[in-house]
Amino acid sequence: FAQLREGLSRTSNALSDNIASVLTKERLDEDTLDDLEDVLIRADLGVEMAERVRNIVAKNRYDRGATAEAVREVLGDEVSKVLDPVAKPFPPMDEKPFVWLVVGVNGTGKTTTIGKLAHRFQAQGKSVMLAAADTFRAAAIDQLKIWGDRVDAQVICHDVGSDPAGVAYDGLKRAQETNTDVLLIDTAGRLQNKNDLMDELAKIVRVVKKLEEDAPHGVLLVLDATTGQNALNQVELFQQVAGVTGLAVTKLDGTARGGILVAIAERFGLPVHAIGVGEGIDDLESFDAEDFARAIAG
């Protein structure tokens, strides 16, 4: 919790300063409530959350003005209510191999998250294999290999420019042959052309299903919290092109935009399996609604 609170301190400090700065009047008038709503919207928490907190604060009729503490308490309670239903651990992964398709825009932290996940699953006693199906960037393949070395997991890769679906197919085949518990497939998140992205992911899924009908068993979307509102568009896009089953939200360390996770939870209700709080191998945490709410609301 200390790491989360530290990571989210920019978000929570900005929020508490801004909340305090609008609560300057004796009475809680409409202007003040408008300003408060604005502050919450600017903190990326989402319009729904901002309105709800405003209404609760208004209804509470803090006669001699609301204290920033009272508002933060309302906020913390409401955030916690929204996050509680989405804070879900990873599924039990009973299928063998359990195939994760890991999707997301380039740069959001897919490869890093895959490395951290491999480490975490291994710590649970599972064997893990990685497939480098982002074949568009040599650096992406190299990066996955580095993580493979670090966690001592086999990395299936082909040359740059080869068919991503071929890598996914080989990865699953190899995972089956070696009786591996979990296969994590890294993919390219090129946004230049939505149809290309859709075709590419659809082909990976099609090819993987040839070997294992139920695969992929999970589609994990990696989102970068620092991109703020863009993250909402990314969820929408990847929902359409890949059918997301769960989220990992990265870079929650040191961002002022941690509130975006609340807006995402409210809008989509997708399970949040883990959050990234740093670049290191252990900097992936399970997502705890209450902790997050408390860290944000201060």
Binding residue numbers? 104-111, 186-190, 250-253
11 near ligand GDP, rule: CB under 6 A = no
Which of 31, 149, 279, 282 lies at the binding interface for ligand GDP (CB under 6 A)?
A: 279
User: How far, CA to CA in Å, does 32 sit from each of 79, 84, 138, 259?
Assistant: 21, 29, 53, 21
278 near ligand GDP, rule: CB under 6 A = yes
Q: How far is the CB of 290 from ligand GDP (least distance, A)?
A: 21
- Specify the residue, 18 or 112, whose C-beta has the smaller distance to ligand GDP: 112
User: How far, CA to CA in Å, does 3 sit from each of 9, 15, 17, 84, 275?
Assistant: 10, 18, 21, 20, 12
Q: Are 224 and 238 in contact (CB under 8 A)?
A: no
User: How far, CA to CA in Å, does 47 sit from each of 41, 59, 134?
Assistant: 6, 18, 35
Residue at shortest CB range from ligand GDP: 276
- Specify the residue, 110 or 294, whose C-beta has the smaller distance to ligand GDP: 110
- Specify the residue, 212 or 253, whose C-beta has the smaller distance to ligand GDP: 253
Cα(169)–Cα(231) distance, integer angstroms = 29
Give 290's contacts (C-beta < 8 A, 6+ positions apart).
80, 84
Q: Looking at residues 105 to 164 of the shown chain, list those that interact with ligand GDP (rule: CB under 6 A).
A: 106-112, 140, 143
Q: Please choose, out of 43-51, 155-163, 175-183, 278-286, the segment that lies near ligand GDP by the rule CB under 6 A.
A: 278-286
Crossing angle between the packed helical segments 194-211 and 230-242, to the nearest 10 degrees: 40
Annotated binding-site residues for GTP read 104-111, 186-190, 250-253
Residue count, binding to ligand GDP (CB under 6 A) = 18
Residues that bind ligand GDP (CB under 6 A): 104, 106-112, 140, 143, 250-251, 253, 276-279, 283
